[in-house]
Chains A and B, each alone.
Chain A
Amino acid sequence: MTNEEFLTEMQDVLQTEEDLSMDTVLDGLDEWDSLSVMATMAFLEKSFGVKTTMKDYKDIKTIGDIAKKAGL
């Protein structure tokens, strides 16, 4: 998955109309709530085979941090 494809996928995961970049700060998005964290966890596991826990999200601050978890 390219970075661009990843950003498009994340738009759907978060159901956001915002244009996302790797620098987008998650706390700055209205859509970033506990459900979005759950959706992101499911996305990482389904698309990249990467399991994350709620604890991991304390250190995840940007879209780029999620991409790093995905191995991009």
Chain B
Amino acid sequence: MISFTSEQRFIVTGASSGLGEAAALLLNELGASVIGIARNQERLEAMKATAKYPENVFLEQKDLTENIKGLPAYVKALKEKYGKFQGLAYCAGISQIQPLQFLDYNDLKKIFDINYFAPVLMIKGVADKRCNIGAGTSIVAIASIAAFARDKGHLSYAGSKAALSASLKCISKEVIGRGIRVNCVSPSNIKTPMNTGMEDYEESQKNLYPLGFGETKDVANMIAFLLSDKAKFISGQNYVIDSGGVL
């Protein structure tokens, strides 16, 4: 069984809803301390209120795209406040359906800011030798099967997630010598607030999901596993969670 101690501190981004909230709550339930980061303080408080061990949930309201280049220093400041980190679950992200003919540079930049630049620089912060516990540190970021699929209108989202998963493989090579593991989880459509209003799309994709649409907990379970020492032999991988049918 996976278990953590309260001395094991994980940063979870996007912790106020969806996959981030599920990951934060599960890590906490398994005994870890969680530093939950999100833009919305009210929703962060609501997440904490449902935690099994709320005394081990710490909230940080922040828009990660506000000062992206300052994110490594932000992680360092968090380390001063809470102590060295056991790992990171980067779950913040946005989706965007825009075909090429309606796409401009600002749309691309917006999605790459939160889905690519912010995670890479948060990882830079957590992988900094001064900010983590060294060997045993584990980092997980959420990519997407969109990076493998070829759906119309998904070019910016797919591009950002493909870039992230490719970079994580390079990062894993850079930090493995220090015993730091880096992995990626690529879910298919999951029932999250990010995907509300996409019921028509889900309906059209139904035959691709033989096991049904995923729940946030399905992804959180994989995140918790990869962050735990049960996955101590695994790094540089990208795990597809797709109901067994999309890819």
Which residues of A does B touch, CB under 8 Å? Answer: 15-17, 31, 33, 35
Contact = CB atoms under 8 A, between A and B. Distances in A.
A16 B177 contact: no
Contacts, number: 11
B219 to A, nearest CB: 31
Interface string B6-38: 000000000000000000000000000000000
Interface residues of B, number: 5
A16 B178 CA distance: 14
Kindly list the 9 A-B residue pairs having the minimum CB-CB distance in the complex, ordered from nearest: A15-B129, A15-B128, A17-B130, A35-B174, A15-B130, A31-B129, A16-B129, A33-B177, A16-B130
Contacts of A33: 177
Interface in B112-128: 128
A14 to B, nearest CB: 8
Contacts of B129: 15-17, 31
A9 to B, nearest CB: 13
Contacts of A15: 128-130
Contacts of A35: 174, 177
A15 B130 CA distance: 6
Most buried by B among A15, A17, A33: A15
A15 B177 CA distance: 15
A64 B224 CA distance: 45
Contacts of B177: 33, 35
Interface string B127-146: 01110000000000000000
A48 B129 CA distance: 25
A17 B129 CA distance: 8
Contacts of B128: 15
11 contacts: A15-B128, A15-B129, A15-B130, A16-B129, A16-B130, A17-B129, A17-B130, A31-B129, A33-B177, A35-B174, A35-B177
A12 to B, nearest CB: 9
A15 to B, nearest CB: 4
